[in-house]
Each structure stands twice: as C-alpha cells, then as structure tokens.
Amino acid sequence: MHGTCGELYILGIFGIFSLAYIGFLAFTTAFTSLPPDINDRMLLPLYVSDVIALLAAFSFWGQSWLSNRQGWLKIVPCLIAALFLFQYIPESAAFIAGQHFDPGLRAWENSAIVKDVEQLPKDTPVISTRPNILLLWADRPAYPLTMDFSQSFLSESGPYGSDPQDPLQKIFSQNGAALVDLNDLSPQFIQKYGKDSAERLDLLIKGLVVYRQTPDGTIYFYPK
C-alpha cells in the first residue's frame, strides 16, 4: 500500500506541475508584450512531466489491478515513455552536432563582437540578427531580429526603434536594449524587400548610437 501511495503522490505532483505550466504559458501568451515562441523546446518540461505522470499512473494501475499473470503489462509505461522520447533523439543529436561542430559557428567563438556582447551589463536586453551565436558563445539569450516590418514603418524615415506598434522595437527604444548586427542586417533586409530598399536600409540605422564596431559586427543603442 505504501508503494501505491508513492505513485499517487508522484502522479499528483507532476499532474499539478503540468497544469501550472500550461497556465503559465497561457498567461504569458495572452498578457506579455512579446509572447513566447511556443515550440518543442518550450514544451519539453511539459512532455517530461507528462511522461513521469504516466509512468506513475501505470505503476499504480499495475500494483492495484494486475495479477501476477498480467505482470508483463507493467512494461507498457516504459514502452510509452520510450516512444515519447525516441522522436526527439535524431533531431536533438543533429542540433547538438550542428551547433558544436559546424565550422561556420565555431568561427564566432573568439570573435571580437561576441566578447563585446559578453561585457554588456547582465540586465541589458539584446536583439540580434544571429541570436543562436550569442547564446552559444556569449551565453546571452537574445530576441531574434526579424524583417517583418509594417508597411507604415517602411514608408517612414525613422530609425529602428521608432515604431511604437512593434513590441521588439519598443524594447529597443524604451528598455535600453542593444541591437547586435553580425554583418547580416543589410543582406537580410535587401533579400526581404529587394534592392530598391537600400535607401530605407540606410535610414534604418541612421541616428542610432554605435556602441561598439568590429570587423565582425556592430552594437547599436537607441539615442536617448
């Protein structure tokens, strides 16, 4: 009976955690100015919690209802857990291999711009054209800078940060975020909006404060 109670405790704890985590994601998605990107990485704690809860539930079921003749059914939760986890093994292995062995990414490890980002105050938000590089080598999470600007913003001449309707630009202009361009802001912008957008591209960074500039990139701040 003691073992059965233990499984119920585990089921209750991880069941409550799963519900709380779902509530947290729902709250942040509904009420934060920059909703989180709900992907497999964000949902991983929920998957792990659900697998543990399932194991506890099946273990309770097995100890309570299965006879010795049906004991082989106790392997069912292990098979379910293996199926849950197996689908992530190839993708996870490919991601880790790509991050740590891709010579293109390794070239940034000791770059000057990465070192400059490391020196930024820890409470400074960061926006970057290559957030994966900063997370990998500077240990700094960064908002990904996308090229999805509104047509009204593109038709104006204001610099990046002057669109109050763009949550990311508000963080840049109002929260003192650093904009880290790893020399690919220009090609990304032109690829998205065409060669005729070069004039708007110049206005995009005109007036921004250059904090650091290296051969590898530039760090900008919004003028105060």
pLDDT per position as a tens digit, 11-65: 778 888 888 888 888 888 888 766 667 777 777 788 788 777 777 777 676 666 6
Model pLDDT, residue 15: 80
pLDDT grade, residue 1 (50/70/90)?
very low
pLDDT grade, residue 151 (50/70/90)?
very high
Model pLDDT, residue 206: 92
CA-derived radius of gyration, the chain: 24
Q: How many CB atoms lie within 10 A of CB 83?
A: 10
Contact 163, 200 (CB under 8 A): no
pLDDT grade, residue 174 (50/70/90)?
very high
Q: How many CB atoms lie within 10 A of CB 7?
A: 19
Which spans in the chain are helix H?
Answer: 2-31, 40-65, 76-86, 89-101, 103-106, 112-118, 131-133, 151-154, 167-174, 185-193, 198-205
What number is the average pLDDT over the span 129-150?
A: 91
The answer to whether residue 170 scores a pLDDT higher than 70 is yes
Instruction: Give the angle 57-2-83 at the CA atoms, nearest 5°.
Output: 25
**pLDDT: is 103 or 75 the higher one?**
75
The answer to whether residue 119 scores a pLDDT higher than 50 is yes
The answer to whether residue 181 scores a pLDDT higher than 90 is yes
Q: Does the predicted TM-score (pTM) go above 0.75?
A: no
| 105, two tokens | 């990414």
How do the domains of the chain map onto residue ranges? 2-87, 103-221
The mean of the pLDDT values for the chain is: 82
Contact 49, 21 (CB under 8 A): yes
Contact 180, 126 (CB under 8 A): yes
